[in-house]
Amino acid sequence: MDRKISLRNALVALAIVVLAVPAVADDMNPLLTEWTGPYGGVPAFDTMDLTHLKPALEEGMANHLTQLDAIANNPEAPTFENTILDMERSGKELDRVFSYWGIWSSNRSTPEFREIQAEMAPKLSEYGSKITQNEKLFNRVKAVYESEEMKSLRPDQQRVVWLSYNSFAHNGAELTGEAKERYAAINKRLAELHTAFSNNVLADEEGYVTYLDETQLGGLSESYIKGAAAAATEREHEGKYAVTNTRSSMDPFLTFSTERDLREKVWRTYYSRGDNGDEYDNNKLISEILALRHERVNLLGYKNYASWRLEDRMAKTPERALELMEAVWPAAIARVAEEVTDMQAVADAEGAKITIEPWDYRHYAEKVRRAKYDLDSDEVKQYLQLAKLRDAMFFVAGELFGFQFTPVKAGTVPTFHEDVEVFEVTNRNNGMHVGLWYLDAYARQGKRSGAWATTYRSHDKLDGRKNVLCSNNSNFIEGTPGEPVLISWSDAETLFHEFGHALHYLSSDVDYPTLNGGVRDYTEFQSQLLERWVLTDKVIDNYLVHYETGKPIPAELVTKIKKAATFNQGFKTTEYLASALMDMKYHTMDPTGLDPDAFEREALASLNMPKELPMRHRSPHFGHVFSGEGYSSGYYGYMWADVLTSDAAEAFKEAPGGFYDKDVAAKLVKHLFSVRNAVDPADAYRMFRGRDAKIEALMRDRGFPVPGEEGGAMSGEADARD
């Protein structure tokens, strides 16, 4: 699953603290101005004008640097109040600009925006370097960190100080002379390369579309055909059917299409994004990105990029992350061999006279599913209506978190597209307003593929309580107007997953803006955990109803779904782990003279990667890792978080009330959601579970052989501040 690496998060990775606000003038650039309107003010998405973006960024950066210079040159001795909290209050007008930037970048990209993006990315990097290399500012932060006052601060205040100090120290603040200049130059060039990489992938997603005619629709569902027709019409191919170059379109086509030659074409088109030898080819960019990252961490004294990146994560070291992945990998590829054997038997029985290839895997896995479990994914899909699943998420949020979601009347809150829905979130126990939740559910040109969550405004209590403005974004294919949108079981889990991020935002009860951040190999835990509620009886019984008859999903079909819960785990785990292992290999090697295509082939061969499936994200379109630094050498984090998820899910299973147990839910919200990054993740998990997480729960979840039950403690034993 794709996850959003927002510009703000990318800048945080460079130690940029962009958070608060000065007074504004009436004639200020509209992208900088204080948000007005209901609910504590909302972004003016309906009046976004791209001509304002560049000047808003430039003015916002300049104003923030001026504010930070004032803090750095304060003649008074450094204190928590006049240094750390003043930094927390600085730069909020620029933070508002980033909310608009994020919409243009992810939801409404255009060639005109991409030109601005390419021009501004290096300038934003320079701005970040001016902050992290502001020696006076760093010295004040360091003075607070090392002061006697630090000992008297509350734990959450100490964590704010440490996070502020570490964001400088970990990003070259103590470099001098030529090393300091080179570090900034590398960051500037990387910003250009990350932007180019991302835009190249988007160009291939937009530029390579497979058009079908009526004779090529064999096996496809009515809902898919209608969506493909609408996608073709949108692209001025009336009468055709478009398979777009995104996972949400590719995946069901490969699963159900009976046209093997077209399955191969669609498969090759999708997995060749960024790797077509044309102007949008990303291989040279990968080589330069890795070389620059390696050089940069060498300046800081680290042997490789991954050692630097993981130092303040739960895993701590590349070796610990690899230990987890390598513990699961043999079981995963062994399961693939079993799955391929089953699929080949089906193909042979049909007289297909083929050997299973990657473009056959999904198709024949579906046939095996039907044969082994008498489970038809298309039959299940008839009970998975997007609107009903949204209501199911609201139900779960009410039961666990006490949240009430109420539709906001159209026109009350500005949106950036007519399809965007907005809901007010309140505490149903006391009626208190919590925030707004935006849902942008449908695919369109200019929108990045995948699914993600983001915030426009986070909660904090620094200068009065701020309500949350957050959003979920998907790429479902919108069918005929008035008809329900049906989605797959996997898409339903993804929908709940991203909603888990939103609940994490909405649950925040921290005092300071910086504490709304997160540790990368932990932040997916809360969202992965929420996926477990899709299969709970209360969701099944009340929200999975047939889109035509309105009848609940039959009990026997539910039984089949549950029995098949570990089906195809070889494919799912192996395609993910291959990408995660490649990410770690890229960032623990010397990249001198690297040929990414050759390295990918050789590295996968050394892992005994099954030939029947690809890694989930091949290197030339691995945006998590190469379009920014949010997940670089951190893609393993999904599995690290999934160990926590499996272990936490067992806490609910063991409770008297199961997945709706009030006591366990209260502990979940208190220790794992509301604290955000105010508590070290390892400590937070121990407070919830009473111990560290264990890998055995993950192996049981996936139906893999469980190693010796006597051990398995996994989560980070050392405090992240050590």
* Same domain membership, residue 160 and residue 53: yes
Q: In angstroms, rounded to a whole number, what is the distance separating the alpha carbons of residues 436 and 401? A: 15
* Same domain membership, residue 95 and residue 21: yes
* Chain mean position to CA 542: 29
Phi-psi region of 444 (alpha: psi -120 to 50; beta: other; left: phi over 0): beta
* Same domain membership, residue 222 and residue 195: no
The DSSP secondary-structure symbol of 316 reads -
Whether 495 is covered by a domain: the verdict is no
* Same domain membership, residue 219 and residue 194: no
Please give the residue range of the domain that contains residue 245.
Answer: 208-271
Q: How many domains does the chain have?
A: 2
* Same domain membership, residue 239 and residue 185: no
* Same domain membership, residue 13 and residue 52: yes
| Cβ–Cβ < 8 Å for 109, 447 | yes
- Tokens describing residue 568: 């195809």
- Tokens describing residue 412: 């009350």
Instruction: Please count the other Cβ atoms lying within 10 Å of the Cβ belonging to residue 275.
Output: 20
**Phi, then psi, of 42 in degrees rounded to 5:** -135, 155
Helix (H, G, I), strand (E, B) or coil at 530: helix
The crossing angle, in degrees rounded to 10, of helices 92-106 and 53-72 is 150
Phi-psi region of 483 (alpha: psi -120 to 50; beta: other; left: phi over 0): beta
Burial 565-583 (b: 16+ CB within 10 A, else e): eebbbbbbbbbbbbbbbbb
Q: CA 309, 314, 319: angle at the middle one, nearest 5?
A: 65
* Same domain membership, residue 153 and residue 27: yes
Whether 349 is covered by a domain: the verdict is no
Listed as ranges, residues in the chain with pLDDT below 50 are 1-26, 709-722
* Same domain membership, residue 259 and residue 111: no
Whether 683 is covered by a domain: the verdict is no
Give every CB contact of residue 118 below 8 A, 6+ residues apart in sequence: 192, 195, 196, 199
Bridge partners of 681?
none
Q: What percentage of the chain carries pLDDT values higher than 70?
A: 94
Last residue of a domain, one of 246, 271, 296: 271
Q: What is the dihedral of CA 10, 12, 16, 17, to 10 degrees?
A: 130
Q: In angstroms, rounded to a whole number, what is the distance separating the alpha carbons of residues 347 and 363? A: 10
**Dihedral of CA 515/521/523/529: which sign?**
negative
Whether 698 is covered by a domain: the verdict is no
**In the prediction, which pLDDT does 707 show?**
63
DSSP characters for 290-305?
A: HHHHHHHHHHTT-SSH
Residues with a known catalytic role: 498
* Same domain membership, residue 178 and residue 42: yes
- Tokens describing residue 292: 């620059």
Last residue of a domain, one of 234, 255, 271: 271
Whether 34 is covered by a domain: the verdict is yes
The crossing angle, in degrees rounded to 10, of helices 569-586 and 596-606 is 130
Q: In angstroms, rounded to a whole number, what is the distance separating the alpha carbons of residues 465 and 484? A: 39
- DSSP β-ladder status, 468-476 and 433-442: parallel
Residue with tokens 């496809």: 220
- Tokens describing residue 464: 């009065």
Whether 446 is covered by a domain: the verdict is no
| Cβ–Cβ < 8 Å for 436, 422 | yes
For residue 185, the surrounding DSSP H or E stretch is helix 177-207
- CATH, residue 105: 1.10.1370.40
Whether 95 is covered by a domain: the verdict is yes
Instruction: Please count the other Cβ atoms lying within 10 Å of the Cβ belonging to residue 202.
Output: 24
In tens, the pLDDT along 635-644 reads 999 999 999 9
Q: What is the dihedral of CA 315, 184, 84, 23, to 10 degrees?
A: -130
Averaged confidence pLDDT in the chain: 92
- Tokens describing residue 284: 């040279």
Last residue of a domain, one of 201, 229, 248: 201
- Tokens describing residue 625: 């890792």
Report the 3 state secondary structure along 629-658.
CCCCCCCCHHHHHHHHHHHHHHHHHHCCCH
* Same domain membership, residue 105 and residue 151: yes
Q: What is this structure's pTM?
A: 0.86
* Same domain membership, residue 158 and residue 247: no
Considering only CA atoms, which of 448, 12, 438 is closest in space to residue 201? 448
The DSSP secondary-structure symbol of 83 reads I
Whether 442 is covered by a domain: the verdict is no
Alpha helices in 455-511 (DSSP H): 489-506
Q: In angstroms, rounded to a whole number, what is the distance separating the alpha carbons of residues 470 and 387? A: 19
* Same domain membership, residue 106 and residue 40: yes
